[in-house]
Structure 1
Amino acid sequence: MKKVLFATTALIATAGMAAADVKLSGYGRFGIIYNEAPGTTVISRAPGADGIPGTADDVVTTAPNDETSITSRFRLNIDGTTTADNGVTFGARVRMQGNSNAAGFTASPTLSAARFYAMSSGLTVAAGNILGAIDSMPYLYHGSVGLTGLGYVNVVSDFGADDFNSEGADRTGMEVIYEADMYSVHASYSDPISGAVGSQSRAAIAASANFSGYTIALGYQDSEYGPDVEFVAIAAGEVGPATVSVAYAKDHADFDQYNLAVSADVAAATEIQAYYNYDEASVTEESYGVGFTHDIGGGASLRGGVASLNGTTRADLGVLFNF
Structure 2
Amino acid sequence: MSTTHQLTVTNIPSDIGSLLKGKSLAPEAFRKAKLIPKVEAAGYNVTEQNALPSGPATWSFNPSTAPNGVRNEAANVEVNHQVKRTILDGLSNQYSDPPFQLVIGGECNNLPAVLSALWQGLAPARIGLIYVDADADLSVPGPESSGTLASMTFTHLTMAPGALESMRPFTRPDGEGVVDASNVVLFGLNTALQSNTRSQMGYLMDEGYRVFTSAAVAKDPKSAAKQAIRFLENRVDHIFVHLDVDAIDGTAFPLANVPQRTGAGFNEVIRAVKGLLNHDKVCGLMVAEVNPDHDPGLEMTNKLVDSLVEGLRERLP
TM-score if structure 1 supplies the norm length? 0.33
Richer in strand (by share): 1
Richer in helix (by share) = 2
**Larger relative CO (CA 8 A, sep 6+): 1 or 2?**
2
TM-score (norm 2): 0.34
Answer with 1 or 2: which has the greater Rg.
1
